[in-house]
Protein backbone atom coordinates (compact mmCIF):
# COMPACT_ATOMS: atom_id res chain seq x y z
CA UNK A 1 0.00 0.00 0.00
CA UNK A 2 1.38 3.43 -0.95
CA UNK A 3 1.14 6.04 1.79
CA UNK A 4 -0.29 9.39 0.79
CA UNK A 5 1.89 12.45 1.33
CA UNK A 6 1.00 14.56 4.37
CA UNK A 7 -1.08 17.64 3.72
CA UNK A 8 0.83 20.91 3.51
CA UNK A 9 -0.44 22.00 6.92
CA UNK A 10 0.98 18.86 8.53
CA UNK A 11 4.53 19.24 7.21
CA UNK A 12 7.32 19.33 9.80
CA UNK A 13 10.06 21.97 9.75
CA UNK A 14 13.22 20.94 7.95
CA UNK A 15 15.98 19.69 10.25
CA UNK A 16 18.78 22.16 10.86
CA UNK A 17 21.13 20.03 12.99
CA UNK A 18 23.85 20.20 10.35
CA UNK A 19 26.76 22.50 9.60
CA UNK A 20 27.78 22.10 5.95
CA UNK A 21 25.57 22.17 2.84
CA UNK A 22 26.12 22.14 -0.91
CA UNK A 23 23.60 23.72 -3.28
CA UNK A 24 23.56 22.19 -6.77
CA UNK A 25 21.38 23.70 -9.51
CA UNK A 26 21.36 24.02 -13.27
CA UNK A 27 21.44 27.78 -13.83
CA UNK A 28 22.26 31.16 -12.34
CA UNK A 29 19.11 32.43 -10.56
CA UNK A 30 17.73 28.93 -9.80
CA UNK A 31 18.46 29.11 -6.07
CA UNK A 32 17.14 32.66 -5.94
CA UNK A 33 13.62 31.57 -6.85
CA UNK A 34 12.73 31.03 -3.20
CA UNK A 35 15.49 28.85 -1.75
CA UNK A 36 18.03 31.66 -1.29
CA UNK A 37 16.01 33.07 1.61
CA UNK A 38 16.54 29.76 3.43
CA UNK A 39 20.24 29.86 2.57
CA UNK A 40 20.44 33.34 4.12
CA UNK A 41 18.82 31.97 7.28
CA UNK A 42 21.42 29.22 7.51
CA UNK A 43 24.50 31.30 6.73
CA UNK A 44 23.40 33.92 9.26
CA UNK A 45 23.35 31.11 11.81
CA UNK A 46 26.96 30.23 10.97
CA UNK A 47 26.34 27.29 8.67
CA UNK A 48 28.52 26.79 5.58
CA UNK A 49 26.82 26.71 2.17
CA UNK A 50 28.65 26.36 -1.15
CA UNK A 51 27.09 26.60 -4.61
CA UNK A 52 27.82 24.46 -7.67
CA UNK A 53 26.09 25.41 -10.92
CA UNK A 54 25.93 22.87 -13.72
CA UNK A 55 25.80 25.54 -16.47
CA UNK A 56 26.49 29.26 -16.76
CA UNK A 57 22.98 29.99 -18.04
CA UNK A 58 24.40 31.08 -21.37
CA UNK A 59 21.32 30.08 -23.38
CA UNK A 60 18.82 31.70 -21.04
CA UNK A 61 18.33 35.07 -22.77
CA UNK A 62 17.12 34.90 -26.36
CA UNK A 63 18.35 38.39 -27.22
CA UNK A 64 21.96 37.68 -26.21
CA UNK A 65 24.29 35.13 -27.83
CA UNK A 66 25.70 32.56 -25.40
CA UNK A 67 29.24 33.92 -25.60
CA UNK A 68 28.07 37.26 -24.22
CA UNK A 69 25.32 35.99 -21.94
CA UNK A 70 27.27 33.36 -19.99
CA UNK A 71 29.93 35.66 -18.48
CA UNK A 72 27.31 38.26 -17.55
CA UNK A 73 25.13 35.73 -15.78
CA UNK A 74 28.16 34.31 -14.00
CA UNK A 75 28.94 37.80 -12.64
CA UNK A 76 25.34 38.19 -11.51
CA UNK A 77 25.50 34.87 -9.67
CA UNK A 78 28.66 35.89 -7.84
CA UNK A 79 26.96 39.08 -6.65
CA UNK A 80 23.83 37.16 -5.74
CA UNK A 81 25.79 34.65 -3.66
CA UNK A 82 27.54 37.45 -1.76
CA UNK A 83 24.17 38.83 -0.64
CA UNK A 84 23.27 35.57 1.16
CA UNK A 85 26.73 34.95 2.61
CA UNK A 86 27.94 32.38 0.09
CA UNK A 87 31.57 32.79 -0.97
CA UNK A 88 32.24 29.39 -2.58
CA UNK A 89 30.75 29.28 -6.10
CA UNK A 90 31.85 27.05 -8.98
CA UNK A 91 30.57 26.00 -12.40
CA UNK A 92 30.68 22.60 -14.12
CA UNK A 93 30.32 24.07 -17.63
CA UNK A 94 27.71 21.74 -19.04
CA UNK A 95 25.77 23.33 -21.90
CA UNK A 96 22.72 25.33 -20.89
CA UNK A 97 19.51 23.80 -22.24
CA UNK A 98 21.26 20.56 -23.19
CA UNK A 99 21.97 19.04 -19.77
CA UNK A 100 21.62 15.26 -19.67
CA UNK A 101 21.44 12.96 -16.66
CA UNK A 102 24.29 10.89 -18.06
CA UNK A 103 27.53 9.42 -16.75
CA UNK A 104 29.45 12.65 -17.43
CA UNK A 105 27.09 14.69 -15.24
CA UNK A 106 27.02 12.01 -12.53
CA UNK A 107 30.82 11.95 -12.49
CA UNK A 108 31.07 15.74 -12.26
CA UNK A 109 28.48 15.90 -9.47
CA UNK A 110 30.21 13.04 -7.65
CA UNK A 111 33.45 15.01 -7.79
CA UNK A 112 31.74 18.11 -6.40
CA UNK A 113 30.15 16.17 -3.55
CA UNK A 114 33.43 14.46 -2.66
CA UNK A 115 35.23 17.81 -2.76
CA UNK A 116 32.74 19.69 -0.57
CA UNK A 117 31.77 16.73 1.68
CA UNK A 118 28.33 18.15 2.57
CA UNK A 119 26.00 16.84 5.24
CA UNK A 120 23.06 18.24 3.28
CA UNK A 121 22.54 18.95 -0.42
CA UNK A 122 20.14 21.64 -1.64
CA UNK A 123 18.57 22.02 -5.05
CA UNK A 124 15.30 23.03 -6.71
CA UNK A 125 12.29 21.15 -7.99
CA UNK A 126 13.16 18.32 -10.38
CA UNK A 127 9.63 17.03 -10.84
CA UNK A 128 7.92 17.17 -14.24
CA UNK A 129 5.84 20.22 -13.23
CA UNK A 130 5.67 22.84 -10.49
CA UNK A 131 2.22 21.64 -9.44
CA UNK A 132 0.49 23.99 -11.88
CA UNK A 133 -0.14 23.67 -15.62
CA UNK A 134 3.16 23.79 -17.49
CA UNK A 135 6.37 21.79 -17.83
CA UNK A 136 9.52 22.05 -15.76
CA UNK A 137 12.77 22.93 -17.55
CA UNK A 138 14.64 19.91 -18.89
CA UNK A 139 17.86 21.00 -17.15
CA UNK A 140 16.11 21.15 -13.76
CA UNK A 141 14.70 17.68 -14.24
CA UNK A 142 17.95 16.11 -15.38
CA UNK A 143 20.09 17.77 -12.72
CA UNK A 144 17.77 16.54 -9.97
CA UNK A 145 17.84 12.93 -11.13
CA UNK A 146 21.61 12.92 -11.68
CA UNK A 147 22.15 14.59 -8.31
CA UNK A 148 20.30 11.88 -6.39
CA UNK A 149 22.30 9.22 -8.22
CA UNK A 150 25.55 11.11 -7.61
CA UNK A 151 25.00 11.14 -3.85
CA UNK A 152 25.02 7.37 -3.94
CA UNK A 153 27.93 7.36 -6.39
CA UNK A 154 29.94 9.66 -4.11
CA UNK A 155 29.59 7.16 -1.26
CA UNK A 156 30.83 4.23 -3.35
CA UNK A 157 34.64 3.99 -3.44
CA UNK A 158 34.48 1.77 -6.54
CA UNK A 159 32.56 4.30 -8.68
CA UNK A 160 34.31 7.30 -10.32
CA UNK A 161 37.51 6.59 -8.43
CA UNK A 162 39.28 9.46 -10.18
CA UNK A 163 36.95 12.02 -8.58
CA UNK A 164 38.37 11.93 -5.07
CA UNK A 165 37.88 9.87 -1.91
CA UNK A 166 34.41 8.50 -1.28
CA UNK A 167 32.02 10.58 0.87
CA UNK A 168 29.04 8.89 2.49
CA UNK A 169 28.14 11.67 4.92
CA UNK A 170 25.28 13.27 2.95
CA UNK A 171 22.15 12.81 5.04
CA UNK A 172 19.49 14.16 2.71
CA UNK A 173 18.81 16.17 -0.44
CA UNK A 174 16.26 19.01 -0.18
CA UNK A 175 14.52 20.28 -3.33
CA UNK A 176 13.03 23.75 -2.99
CA UNK A 177 9.68 24.54 -4.58
CA UNK A 178 8.69 20.94 -5.21
CA UNK A 179 4.97 20.17 -5.63
CA UNK A 180 5.68 17.13 -3.43
CA UNK A 181 6.98 19.14 -0.47
CA UNK A 182 7.64 17.27 2.77
CA UNK A 183 9.16 20.01 4.99
CA UNK A 184 9.26 23.78 5.40
CA UNK A 185 11.67 26.48 6.56
CA UNK A 186 10.79 29.74 8.31
CA UNK A 187 12.25 32.52 6.16
CA UNK A 188 10.50 35.43 7.87
CA UNK A 189 13.75 37.05 9.00
CA UNK A 190 15.58 36.51 5.72
CA UNK A 191 12.94 36.83 3.00
CA UNK A 192 14.11 40.35 2.13
CA UNK A 193 17.69 39.09 1.85
CA UNK A 194 16.57 36.36 -0.51
CA UNK A 195 14.79 38.93 -2.67
CA UNK A 196 17.89 41.14 -2.66
CA UNK A 197 19.87 38.12 -3.85
CA UNK A 198 17.41 37.62 -6.70
CA UNK A 199 17.61 41.31 -7.60
CA UNK A 200 21.28 40.87 -8.49
CA UNK A 201 20.16 38.92 -11.57
CA UNK A 202 19.23 42.19 -13.24
CA UNK A 203 19.91 41.10 -16.81
CA UNK A 204 17.79 37.99 -16.51
CA UNK A 205 14.94 39.73 -14.70
CA UNK A 206 14.80 42.40 -17.40
CA UNK A 207 14.35 39.58 -19.89
CA UNK A 208 11.58 37.68 -18.05
CA UNK A 209 9.61 40.41 -16.25
CA UNK A 210 6.75 42.14 -18.05
CA UNK A 211 6.92 44.88 -15.42
CA UNK A 212 9.82 45.75 -13.07
CA UNK A 213 9.66 43.76 -9.84
CA UNK A 214 7.10 41.25 -11.12
CA UNK A 215 9.15 38.18 -10.19
CA UNK A 216 9.98 39.52 -6.72
CA UNK A 217 6.30 40.26 -6.08
CA UNK A 218 5.24 36.82 -7.26
CA UNK A 219 7.83 35.09 -5.06
CA UNK A 220 6.87 37.27 -2.11
CA UNK A 221 3.24 36.25 -2.56
CA UNK A 222 4.24 32.58 -2.70
CA UNK A 223 6.41 32.88 0.43
CA UNK A 224 3.63 34.71 2.27
CA UNK A 225 1.11 32.04 1.30
CA UNK A 226 3.46 29.34 2.58
CA UNK A 227 3.98 31.36 5.74
CA UNK A 228 0.27 31.56 6.45
CA UNK A 229 0.03 27.77 6.26
CA UNK A 230 2.71 27.36 8.90
CA UNK A 231 1.89 30.32 11.12
CA UNK A 232 4.85 32.56 10.18
CA UNK A 233 5.29 35.61 7.96
CA UNK A 234 7.25 33.90 5.17
CA UNK A 235 8.27 30.30 4.51
CA UNK A 236 9.91 28.12 1.88
CA UNK A 237 8.92 24.50 1.25
CA UNK A 238 11.24 21.62 0.36
CA UNK A 239 10.94 18.01 -0.75
CA UNK A 240 13.43 16.18 1.46
CA UNK A 241 14.82 12.89 0.14
CA UNK A 242 16.71 10.88 2.81
CA UNK A 243 19.94 9.32 1.60
pLDDT at 2: 38
Is a pLDDT exceeding 70 seen at residue 1?
A: no
The burial of 40, by beta-carbon neighbours within 10 Å (0-12 exposed, 13-18 middle, 19 or more buried), is given as: buried
pLDDT at 7: 52
pLDDT at 3: 40
pLDDT at 126: 98
What is the domain partition of the chain in residue ranges? 20-242
Residues in the chain: 243
Give CA–CA dist 87/22, Å, rounded: 12
Is a pLDDT exceeding 90 seen at residue 9?
A: no
Q: Which residues contact residue 186 at a Cβ distance below 8 angstroms, ignoring those fewer than 6 apart?
A: 13, 41, 227, 230, 232, 234, 235
The pLDDT tens digits for 25-45 are 999 999 999 999 999 999 999
* Helical residues (DSSP H) of 170-213, grouped into ranges: 191-199, 202-208
The pLDDT tens digits for 193-239 are 999 999 999 999 999 999 999 999 999 999 999 999 999 999 999 99
- For residue 3, give the DSSP letter: P
Q: Which of 178, 201, 76, 166 is nearest to 129 (CA)?
A: 178
In the predicted model, what is the mean pLDDT of the chain? 95
Give CA–CA dist 111/213, Å, rounded: 37
CA angle 82, 85, 91 (to 5 degrees): 60
Q: Which residues contact residue 215 at a Cβ distance below 8 angstroms, ignoring those fewer than 6 apart?
A: 33, 198, 205, 208, 209
20-242 has CATH 1.10.10.10 classification: no
pTM for this entry:
0.94
Q: How many percent of the chain have pLDDT more than 70?
A: 96
The pLDDT tens digits for 88-130 are 999 999 999 999 999 999 999 999 999 999 999 999 999 999 9
pLDDT-derived band at 10 (thresholds 50, 70, 90) equals confident
Amino acid sequence: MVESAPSTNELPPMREDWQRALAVVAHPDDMEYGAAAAVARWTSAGKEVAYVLVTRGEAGISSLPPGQCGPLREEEQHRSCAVVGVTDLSFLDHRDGLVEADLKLRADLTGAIRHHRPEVILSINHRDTWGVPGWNHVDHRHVGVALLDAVRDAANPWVFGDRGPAWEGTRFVAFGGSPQATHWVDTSATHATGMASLAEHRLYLEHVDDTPGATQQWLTDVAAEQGRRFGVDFAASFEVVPM
